[in-house]
Amino acid sequence: MADVPARTEIGVTTGPIRGSKKVHVGPLGVAMREIHLDPSSGEPPLRVYDPSGPYTDANARIDIMAGLPQLRRPWIDARGDVEAYDGRELRPEDNGQLGPDRSGGVPQFPNPVRRPLRAKAGMNLSQMHYARRGIITPEMEYVATRENLGREMLRDYKRDGESFGASIPDYVTPEFVRDEVARGRAIIPNNVNHPESEPMAIGRNFLVKINANIGNSAVASNVAAEVDKLVWSIRWGADTVMDLSTGRNIHDTREWIIRNSPVPIGTVPIYQALEKVGGIAEDLTWEVFRDTLIEQAEQGVDYFTIHAGVRLPYIPMTAKRVTGIVSRGGSIMAKWCLAHHKESFLYERFDEITEIMKAYDIAYSLGDGLRPGSIADANDEAQFSELYTLGELTHRAWAQDVQVMIEGPGHVPMHKIKQNMEKQLEVCGEAPFYTLGPLTTDIAPGYDHITSGIGAAMIGWYGTAMLCYVTPKEHLGLPDRDDVKVGVVTYKLAAHAADLAKGHPAAQMRDDALSRARFDFRWRDQFNLSLDPETAEDYHDQTLPAEGAKTAHFCSMCGPKFCSMKITAEVREFAAKQNQSADTFIAADAGDAERALFASGKGSVADAEAGMAEMSERFKAKGSEVYLPAAE
């Protein structure tokens, strides 16, 4: 199926990803994608995790002007702990305007939230709060079904991987989800004012997730482009999206994004607060910041990045760095602290912020404002000092049953990545880690989706729960549509490589299905099973455009006359022809010899020669019957 543009003023890409269809599983209708394989494969459709929402559902009618259906609203109402109230009035400064004049503004979303929900007096809406009281919410049930993807298809599956102490279950039950949320090892970010979202979990015992950043800036972008990027990024696999808009129209842009997003939306509220005080960091006040939190809470932001770990005493530790403070939020707070010679108001008012979080069920993403911005600054004193404070704040948030994840670096050479994961797990009580990259070298601007994809795959393997994507434009400019896709696909493959290495029960099914398709020359299946079917098919067609080549039993690498996979097929037929399966008997013998060598742990060349000789002997002894021509 080709991409079908939706009938809306704001164009977004809709329609199923080719070769796939949307399915809804179980009583909650959990959304998944089914990739259909050629009948010749004799294989059932493969189900894959699918954050793309109704946009890839052939039966869904998409209307950007109306927003998505409110999937979770009945669940929220049923709990009886929320009240609707008259929301905060929109003010010109919310969109960076100095007065009522809206010229230079963007169109307002037709039907914004006017009567937002919040907790009734004394109530706590956080999923962690329910979990700790033993309540399994529909959100938790949805997550359990969603994460179980394919596991039921695993009959005699052998667990294989190194999980570094994670507790990945063979099967995810709603009770397991509840327990992980109660312990703080996983979060389900979903503001009651974002009922359009499909519940998802971020935690090291679940599939590794990825985040895509979008948002307009002071110098570029517009609302239509941002909504398009939202839909485009989840189409290719983004599990959450952060709106990092700066400059004007922040409020209106965010409304369009949230109303049309099936995935959790995160923001960095200090960005908008800074705009409200004309970009002068020292003019920031707790009141302006608090007002911004309420504004965004009412719109439905699911998680807030709060840089409360940037404390006054740590700031001078950055003076000797090669790249100082590179986090925008971190540097805003650093400037405020220095200008006032005061401790950060985010740190001082942390418990008041937590009160707001629990009234809407917003999760903390504790920002790493002092993360290293270069290889030279990795794992330094400023970075780890802040991490210890984030650990302290994690426990303060948990004391009020509020969900927390921790943001991580940044720029880190490979040999220093593991220490980041280990310290975070230890100091933050296994709260989910959410890292940016890390970039493993600084010398490849233009390729930082790759320098960071390397670090992302590794830290995901070590235990990071969500990876924040990096696009090819990192350090150079604002990502366009193509950059967003490349960034998302790169991070999807890194997250998947991490799931494989951790030994996630169902992760390898897709690799194996694609490998079988490759071996059988089922080109279409190979394209459809890949993370980016369009690019895979396009690359194939650049060399062999003929339609026939899609079914040809050769590829452009070897050509028709000779093909290694064809020869392997012959080897297989040959082995199959034997009265006794060749691989069971030769390999079994070889196996004994080899296993002995491997077990000895020091298979010297002498050992090897001995093993080989032994095998050759046995082989020659039995060879004649193994290789008895089928004819005879």
Q: Which residue lies nearer to a second copy by CB, 110 or 445?
A: 445
- 523-542 positions binding a second copy, by CB under 8 A: 526-527, 529-532, 535-536, 538-540, 542
Q: Per rule CB under 8 A, is residue 108 in the interface with a second copy?
A: no
Q: What is the chain's Cα-based Rg?
A: 27
Q: Minimum Å distance from CB 562 to a second copy?
A: 5
With residues binned 3-state (H G I as helix, E B as strand, rest as coil), the percentages for the chain, rounded to 5, are: 45, 10, 45
Q: Count interface residues toward a second copy (CB under 8 A).
A: 159
Phi, psi of 417 (to 5 degrees): -70, -45
Residues 447-486 that bind a second copy (CB under 8 A): 447, 449-451, 453-454, 457-458, 461, 472-473, 475-478, 480
Residue 388 near a second copy by CB under 8 A = yes
Query: Which residue is associated with the tokens 């396009």?
Result: 538
Residue tagged 């097929």 (tokens) = 569
The residues pairing with 48 across neighbouring beta strands, listed in sequence order, are 33
621 interacts with a second copy by CB under 8 A: no
User: According to CB under 8 A, which one of 27, 98, 548, 602 is a site residue for a second copy?
Assistant: 602
- Choose one: 165-173, 260-268, 287-295, 315-323; the region binding a second copy (CB under 8 A): 315-323
242 annotated as ligand-binding = yes
Among 10, 123, 154, 312, binds a second copy (CB under 8 A): 312
**Interface region with a second copy, contact rule CB under 8 A, candidates 121-129, 226-234, 338-346, 350-358:** 338-346
Please identify which residue in 178, 311, 358, 522 interacts with a second copy, judged by CB under 8 A.
311
**213 labelled as ligand-binding?**
yes
| Alpha-carbon separation of residue 285 from 12, 332, 336, 349, 368 (angstroms) | 38, 12, 9, 11, 21
Q: How far is CA 280 from CA 273, 286, 305, 500, in A?
A: 10, 14, 20, 47
Q: Is 374 in the site for a second copy (CB under 8 A)?
A: yes
**370 among the known binding-site residues?**
yes
- Residues numbered 549-588 forming contacts with a second copy, rule: CB under 8 A: 555-562, 564-565, 567-572, 574-576, 581-583, 586-587
| 464 contact partners, CB below 8 Å, separation of at least 6 | 204, 208, 408, 421, 433, 434, 435, 456, 498
Q: How far is the CB of 88 from a second copy (least distance, A)?
A: 25
Nearer to a second copy, 187 or 325 (CB): 325
Q: Return the range that interacts with a second copy (CB under 8 A); candidates 129-137, 150-158, 204-212, 612-620.
A: 612-620
- How many residues can be counted in the chain? 632
Torsion, Cα of 159, 423, 263, 25 (10° steps) = 20
Bridge partners of residue 362, in order along the sequence: none
Instruction: Give the whole-angstrom CA distance, residue 314 versus residue 308.
Output: 12
Say if residues 379 and 424 touch (Cβ distance below 8 Å): no
For residue 150 the two structure tokens come to 């394919």
The reply, when asked if residue 34 is annotated as ligand binding, is: no
Q: For a second copy, give the closer residue by CB, 264 or 487.
A: 487
Let me know the angle formed at the C-alpha of 455 by 443 and 432, rounded to the nearest 5 degrees: 140
Question: How many alpha carbons fall within 13 Å on the CB side of residue 482?
Answer: 4
What is the footprint of a second copy within residues 494-523 (CB under 8 A)? 494, 496-498, 500-503, 508, 510-512, 514-516, 518-519
Binding residues: 213, 242, 271, 307, 327-329, 368-371, 407, 411, 434, 475, 555, 558, 563
